Structure 1
């Protein structure tokens, strides 16, 4: 009999992409997969063919929201044989426990001893393996270090996104200049603008509504010189449309962000710019990805002894790790 499994998804887009190899392993051994995800992450799982069903959780950030979890758990009772809990929080393990799912797998953390039936040792953050391997280990299988995320959209979904936005496959570059974590992960807007002005193909800017002003600060000065060269779509697309736009682009330039991992999952040519964080932990796992990180550049002087600091804002006030990556260097990699 087919084992029915529920995956409790992470709450960030990049982390969701990095769980794909775990799901692929589970599906390969015959498990039928349902993913429970927050609405802003759910579309990522619709780009994973091994997922049979996606349940959008009616939860918000913060608080246990006990009543909502209990109600949903009653609807899920008896449906699943196993649950894999990707986040480390207490509340993420509540739903499988309330639903009475017999086998509940996750990492140790936040007093989850009674909620999980199988707990993996949770190494300190500084000693964790790369996140893809971290999630894939929940399968209980070995040799997870070589796993790479793979995303796939139906051709009709991609074409629908392109038609709605008046774009042509491989006829544009994508810039994703945002990074939810903070400015120490964001390559300067004026560098993005200078790069866009040098490219022959049009540039499409993607991001959330909160990043619309950031994208406008890139698109507006370029369009003043080259009308229509930059299309600012920040906050104007669904996530599913954004996935289609990325899947069909000529190349993508981004910071270390969720959309960086989306591009890697689709295997598009990309340049990923790292500043305060480390590509040793969350690299874009893509043969066509090129990473710029001054910490690893032996020719850069003086060396960046402060990196990676993992800070939201540069503690030293200079953000050399990003400011000193010139647009010409990124262009040379495209």
Structure 2
């Protein structure tokens, strides 16, 4: 089985989509999973071992007919059996319908008739949960798994060398991504500012303890 995911947005959105990919891989262990993301976000998949191929398409650009026809050809050449799309654009949904992909899953919208299954769009919940809702369109009934990444060996070696250089010892570490409070591409809130501040205060308190 070959599955395609269309995920607009930056690196943050891609990382928050990883639990959805993990669920698809758990449900379909032999499946090949590809993604179509914006060029600026391709590097996110260096830390996602479950994705086979990362293709690029600028969802934010003023794409003309030639751009959509090119994307149509790219998708058709790979003969996908299923697709899920985070993009809520009727043009994208039409393109997937024209490709004849049997399973086409997306969010409920006015153009939902181009999709074979839709799920409610609930933007007020934690973003990984919002993305993970799309798996329900495949009849999957699994909880959203924790977000996990697979660091390349070279990155781990760089981190260890940097720790040693800065004399940070061998203890644990925390990586923070400042990110935007509200992503301009999707209008989805990531972490409300008060919640983020509370998390930082808890981390600081635990570290002192």
- Name the TM-score, length of structure 2 as normaliser: 0.73
Partner SS for 1:71:
helix
Q: 1:168 aligns with which of 161, 164, 169?
A: 161
Report matched runs for 1:250-269 at 5 Å: 250-257=173-180
Root-mean-square deviation (Å): 3.3
How much has 1:112 moved relative to structure 2? 2.4
CA deviation vs aligned residue, 1:155-206 (integer Å, no higher than 9, x gap) = 03544xx39xxx8243478xxxxxxxxxxxxxxxxxxxxxxxxxx75xxxxx
Alpha-carbon distance in structure 2 between the residues aligned to 1:254 and 1:55: 24
Alpha-carbon distance in structure 2 between the residues aligned to 1:256 and 1:331: 23
Bigger helix fraction: 2
Comparing both chains, which one has the higher relative contact order based on Cα–Cα distances under 8 Å and sequence gaps of 6 or more? 2
Q: 1:22 aligns with which of 13, 20, 23?
A: 20
How much has 1:43 moved relative to structure 2? 1.4
Gaps of 5+ in 1: 174-199, 202-248, 259-273, 284-289, 298-328
Alpha-carbon distance in structure 2 between the residues aligned to 1:138 and 1:60: 19
In structure 2, the partner of 1:80 is: 80
CA distance 1:168–1:95, change in 2 (3 Å): farther
Contact 1:93-1:115 within 8 A present in 2 as well: yes
Give the paired residue count: 189
Alpha-carbon distance in structure 2 between the residues aligned to 1:278 and 1:98: 44
Report matched runs for 1:1-334 at 5 Å: 3-28=1-26, 29-30=28-29, 31-57=31-57, 59=58, 61-77=60-76, 79-109=79-109, 111-123=110-122, 125=123, 128-140=124-136, 141-145=140-144, 147-159=145-157, 162=158, 168-171=161-164, 250-257=173-180, 277=193, 279=195, 291-292=199-200, 330=204, 333=207
Contact 1:35-1:45 within 8 A present in 2 as well: no
Contact 1:103-1:117 within 8 A present in 2 as well: yes
Alpha-carbon distance in structure 2 between the residues aligned to 1:108 and 1:136: 14
Large movers: runs of 4+ above 6 Å:
none
Contact 2:11-2:43 within 8 A present in 1 as well: no
Alpha-carbon distance in structure 2 between the residues aligned to 1:100 and 1:130: 32
- Name the TM-score, length of structure 1 as normaliser: 0.48
How much has 1:137 moved relative to structure 2? 1.8
CA distance 1:252–1:91, change in 2 (3 Å): same
CA distance 1:46–1:254, change in 2 (3 Å): closer
Contact 1:132-1:148 within 8 A present in 2 as well: no
Contact 2:8-2:59 within 8 A present in 1 as well: no
How much has 1:10 moved relative to structure 2? 2.8
CA deviation vs aligned residue, 1:266-307 (integer Å, no higher than 9, x gap) = xxxxxxxx7x5464xxx7xxxxxx8137xxx9xxxxxxxxxx
Partner SS for 1:77:
helix
CA distance 1:66–1:255, change in 2 (3 Å): same
